[in-house]
Structure 1
């Protein structure tokens, strides 16, 4: 990945501007965050218009749990060994929870319709 990024950008030219490799990565991360923001924003607005509070709660709580997991792995050095096993389980639990929420909402919708 590093070679791919540096293939397009000549760091020697940027060093004349006072930029080093870390600055280039920071710029790419900022651009990535902005692109993600502009891609996700219409979906969030659509969920708000539809009043999908449960879906937004699921998304935010899932992101919060993943954030806590990565924070714990940073501060607990022994956590690095079973990292991928626990991450795999965490993502499966979040996916199953999302499916169950979807089924619950669908069943409630069908019951209200009848």
Structure 2
């Protein structure tokens, strides 16, 4: 992009003010004295010789607005609540007595055998 001249905010404001001053006569109201407008309220109306808005050319003035600054307060700091009761530690109860389980059943050797046409080797059960 070709940059023809440097634009700064002061120059932009001065040029906008000059443009608005030059365009001001075009934007003001003009008297309604056309021949087809009568002086009354009926046909050919208009207002009673009053002022009517003529052709108006609106010129938008560029205004510089800085980007918004969002402020957020710092996040709150959470502290643990104090203990509700200051006292000795809780009583540690004695462990229940050990349960003596019965010995597992003795294992039995099963010799090999045929089952549904397949040979199953001997194994402990």
Which TM-score tier does this pair reach, normalised by the shorter chain?
A: under 0.3
* Structure with greater strand percent: 2
Higher relative contact order, chain-length normalized (CA < 8 Å, sep 6+): 2
TM-score by length of 1: 0.25
Higher normalized helix content (fraction of residues): 1
TM-score by length of 2: 0.23
